[in-house]
Structure 1
Amino acid sequence: MTTQSTLPKEGGSTGEPGIPQSSDGLKAGLKNRHLSMIAIGGVIGAGLFVGSSGGIAKAGPAILLSYLLVGVLVVFVMRMLGEMAAASPNSGSFSAYADRALGRWAGFSIGWLYWFFWVVVLAVEATAGAKILEGWVPAIPQWGWALIVMVVLTATNLVSVASYGEFEFWFAGIKVVAIGIFVIIGLLAVFGVLPGSDNPGAGFAHLTDAGGFLPHGAGAILTGVLMVVFSFMGSEIVTLAAGESEDPRRAVTKATNSVIWRIAVFYLGSIFVVLTLLPWNDKSITEKGSYVAALDSIGIPAAGQIMNVIVLTAVLSCLNSGLYTASRMAFSLGERGDAPKVFAKVSGKGVPAVAILSSVVFGFVAVFFNYTSPDTVFDFLLNSSGAVALFVWLVICFTQLRMRGILLREAPEKLTVRMWLFPYLTWLTAAFIVFVIGYMVYDEGNREIALLSILVAAVVVAVGVVLDRVRKSKAADAVPAASAGVATEAVEG
């Protein structure tokens, strides 16, 4: 008797009941250049451009340590996810791996929570983009722009996965080039070698000249962590997209290995430039935004409009990727029997059209509530999805702890990427994530987000556990019935 491997195969096969044997219906239309740019751009969300000023105001120069802590956390989590994804590229990524390693309830729960997070993000980003566009063309109302943006990107995702990849290649490319130029110009100004710069005060002294490096005390570092942690969400998208690429294993390995320098340059590098061009408590940072204030300080003309274009690009990129990610997670859930089977249907163009449309419909509903009930319904949606990033990362940690043993038993040759210092660093990462969640509950400003997120997560997990038990009960009942049928046939024979 031979034992069939239960490792998920490329495209989503696991060999377990209720988990698909193959998801070959998804077309491998993403080129390596698409995956490379998705990997690079995935860590640059609109939150970096828009939300960094709030973190600087709360923590001062110590916000650099907040970004460093979260950056290290993301590097470790991506290393764990990269280990699993390189061994078994799958459109369900960590949800499919949790399904295999922890149980059906775990894959169900984290998959639906992740889907919920991204469809709420669709509403947030559509509204943010609409505000910028309305400022340029006020003849079209804000809700009209939100509708236009959502329709265009939905159509893009429905055409083919290659069209998603092409749009994201250019959106992410603009973000990457913009931050790269910002860091280079900023550093030239800091060192006093930028021609025409009118910021004589730029320099390293700004890191300590306004109350020291820790103006609000060491506790502000953790406050900063809570403010910046969610701007890193999206780095895992490349592992979902890898299943539709030409060479998924190579793409995942490359993305995992390059995450360190991406975070170092785009997050730590750009925030360092802001803090060395201006004192952290300069009012322009909160009034104009950190990047606009920094560009203004060195005499870059029309800095505000330049940054609006970049932020709009980041918003469209996040919308594009959010819709792609939500639909692929819905597709994977449908394949595994944890969502309506229709979600797993693929169009003739190789895209899960129903999963895309279902995700965008919920996104449209969320946009509607953002305009009609921003302080009630939408506020609940936003807060109850706020800590999902931390839940996802925690599940990745526990999944990797189990999957390493499974891989070593069944396919050790596929362990081309390995988590460092396993299992100690995995446990340490999980402990830090639990600590951050606990600190969110303790912190008055984040308590509501933490408690609502935990409540929603608990409900989804409860549903997942109940469904899992119902399935097992039905399977157990089916075995005696089948045995009885065989016995009856034998007697009659």
Structure 2
Amino acid sequence: MSPQLAGAVDSVTTEPPQMERGIKNRHLQLIAIGGSIGTGLFMGSGELIKNAGPGIVLVYLAIGLFVFLIMRMLGELLLSNLHYKTFGDVAKHQVGPWAGFFVSWNYWFSWVVACIADIIAITGYVKFFNADVPVWIPALISCLVLTGLNLLPVKWFGEAEFWFAIIKIVAILGLIAVGIYLVITGFTNPDGVQAKVSNLWEYGGFLPMGISGLLLGFQMGIFSFIGVELVGTAAAETENPRKTLPKAINSIVVRILIFYIGALLVIMMVTPWVDIDPETSPFVSTLSLAGFGIAAAVINLVVLTSAASSANSGLYSDTRMLFALAHDGHAPKRMGDLAENGIPRKAVLFTCAFLFLSIPVLLAGDSVIQGFIFVSSICATLVLFTWGMICVSFICYLRKHPEKHANSGFKTPIAAVAPWLVLAFFVFIAVLLVSAEGTRMAFLCAPIWFVVLTVLWQLRKRTLEKEGRPITGMIPTVAHPLDLEDGEQ
């Protein structure tokens, strides 16, 4: 038997060290909600409202529909084989070893970029309380705190995200309730502007900037949804993924309608879109303009916490991806080590080291929002590839395993056309990114990253072949211990 074949057989029968399944059902449900309420909603929606006016809700509806289809595909794929730990595993098993390498490293890099954007957002929120604070101080503190949180056992991550999500939910629902009350009572702010439903169309119509303004909203809109796929990564450390994962994914539609559409409509009813400052969070500025200074400060604290939660979740997902890469032979072996508390400590420290790049980004920019938009544009470009590969993996899955799809207890709606619809939508987004002046440079930088990945893959593959090792870890196809007794796959 050749060394390659021997290694492959061994990898089928033995799995890498297992991380603790310490995430409970309540954790996963709230991680799903928290992941779908991204920093882009709090920080970037002001810029989107400036570009598209009230019509921005149509952008979120469109993106939300396609994100739901992506998550249904991911859910079916993960539940088809509980040995999958990440969608990098799905890609390498369904598409090929190169796909696993590209998806995993691209996802790792995109979340490093997203975490930097979150830290930039945190800095902006801190300056609400004290504009004289040097930008590097809150950035440095954020990096250190996030590193510490990710070195804790996974059950504490689940607990922290549970409460972070509770804070987000209560704050947004509270804002919606207050906004509805202001509209019903006809509240007039200190500038003499009355809260009313007709504010949605009285200032130039529902689409004041026309279709062109609407199209400009898609870039930041995509960034707002980054993190929704975290529920798929967390499922690998969940006690009962077959029960909890479908429930978490199916609730995405309701969350989008309430937390995105509902919140933004209320904000623009209370404060006409023309009065919303794109440099600040509309959640904060709306209450400030309405004369609720203390409430605005509380909301600002909440959105600061939300940004920290987003970065914390991203780091969690990133370190698990790096852990899986190490056991595939695609990252340094020491990144696959587990500490006594079941945490891939070295992967955490390596990933967190890149967060400190947020400091020079902040120091180089003219404003916090400029830095945030540039970094988030890069991230939006990278995530299109990750989500696109989920679609490609699903297409391969349908062709290779039609019987698994037929017997799945969590079938993707319109499965035959869903991945193609999403991929066509991504081509549309890519055209918009390269057409808009504000996002063109970030989009055009992406091919450089994929050239680097191509070179690294060729070098790594040759090294593994020379050493007589398999070019990737194998995915077991035997029943997982957590499979249902009836043998549902």
Question: Which residue in the other structure is 1:329 paired with?
Answer: 321
Query: Aligned AA for 1:218?
Result: I
Q: Which residue of 252, 273, 296 maps to 1:304? A: 296
Matches within 5 A, 1:65-214: 65-89=58-82, 92-133=85-126, 136=129, 142-192=135-185, 201-214=194-207
Q: Residues 135 and 363 of structure 2 are in contact (CA less than 8 Å); yes or no, is this contact kept in structure 1? A: no
Q: Which residue of 377, 382, 386 maps to 1:388? A: 382
| C-alpha spacing 1:114/1:50, structure 2 compared with 1 (3 Å) | same
Comparing 47-56 and 194-203, the one that deviates more: 194-203
Comparing 302-311 and 171-180, the one that deviates more: 302-311
- Mapped to 2, the partners of 1:127 and 1:224 lie a distance apart of 20
Query: What TM-score do you get using the length of structure 2 for normalisation?
Result: 0.85
Comparing 300-309 and 33-42, the one that deviates more: 300-309
Q: Which residue of 7, 11, 23 maps to 1:30? A: 23
Q: Which residue of 316, 336, 347 maps to 1:344? A: 336
Where relative contact order (Cα < 8 A, 6+ residues apart) is larger, the structure is: 2
| C-alpha spacing 1:465/1:73, structure 2 compared with 1 (3 Å) | farther
CA-CA distance at 1:96 after TM superposition: 1.1
| C-alpha spacing 1:198/1:281, structure 2 compared with 1 (3 Å) | closer
| C-alpha spacing 1:69/1:410, structure 2 compared with 1 (3 Å) | closer
Deviation sequence 1:172-216 (CA, Å, 0-9, x none): 110111111111222233333889999873223122211112211
- Mapped to 2, the partners of 1:192 and 1:134 lie a distance apart of 33
SS at match of 1:302: helix
CA-CA distance at 1:21 after TM superposition: 4.0
SS at match of 1:427: helix
Q: Residues 104 and 464 of structure 1 are in contact (CA less than 8 Å); yes or no, is this contact kept in structure 2? A: no
- Mapped to 2, the partners of 1:448 and 1:116 lie a distance apart of 18
Q: Residues 28 and 243 of structure 1 are in contact (CA less than 8 Å); yes or no, is this contact kept in structure 2? A: yes
Comparing 273-282 and 261-270, the one that deviates more: 273-282
Question: Which residue in the other structure is 2:208 paired with?
Answer: 215
- Mapped to 1, the partners of 2:73 and 2:262 lie a distance apart of 25
Q: Residues 147 and 352 of structure 2 are in contact (CA less than 8 Å); yes or no, is this contact kept in structure 1? A: yes
Q: Gapped runs of 5+ residues in structure 2?
A: 1-6, 472-489
- Mapped to 2, the partners of 1:423 and 1:301 lie a distance apart of 52
Q: Gapped runs of 5+ residues in structure 1?
A: 1-13, 479-493
Query: Aligned AA for 2:180?
Result: L
Comparing 18-27 and 130-139, the one that deviates more: 130-139
Query: Aligned AA for 1:49?
Result: F
SS at match of 2:151: helix
Q: Percent identity?
A: 35
Deviation sequence 1:354-399 (CA, Å, 0-9, x none): 11111111222x1343356559x99997764441111111111111
Query: What TM-score do you get using the length of structure 1 for normalisation?
Result: 0.84
Question: Which residue in the other structure is 2:309 paired with?
Answer: 317
CA-CA distance at 1:130 after TM superposition: 4.2
| C-alpha spacing 1:150/1:291, structure 2 compared with 1 (3 Å) | same
Q: Which residue of 265, 272, 288 maps to 1:272? A: 265
- Mapped to 1, the partners of 2:380 and 2:460 lie a distance apart of 25
SS at match of 2:209: coil
Question: Which residue in the other structure is 1:488 paired with?
Answer: none
Deviation sequence 1:92-141 (CA, Å, 0-9, x none): 42211111111111111111111112122333323432454466579985
- Mapped to 1, the partners of 2:458 and 2:97 lie a distance apart of 8
Q: Which residue of 25, 32, 47 maps to 1:54? A: 47
Q: Residues 135 and 362 of structure 2 are in contact (CA less than 8 Å); yes or no, is this contact kept in structure 1? A: no
Question: Which residue in the other structure is 2:481 paired with?
Answer: none
CA-CA distance at 1:47 after TM superposition: 1.7
Question: Which residue in the other structure is 1:420 paired with?
Answer: 413
Question: Which residue in the other structure is 1:429 paired with?
Answer: 422
- Mapped to 2, the partners of 1:474 and 1:218 lie a distance apart of 56
Query: Aligned AA for 2:101?
Result: F
| C-alpha spacing 1:190/1:225, structure 2 compared with 1 (3 Å) | same
Q: Residues 90 and 239 of structure 1 are in contact (CA less than 8 Å); yes or no, is this contact kept in structure 2? A: no
Query: Aligned AA for 2:349?
Result: L
Q: Residues 89 and 239 of structure 1 are in contact (CA less than 8 Å); yes or no, is this contact kept in structure 2? A: no
| C-alpha spacing 1:16/1:285, structure 2 compared with 1 (3 Å) | farther
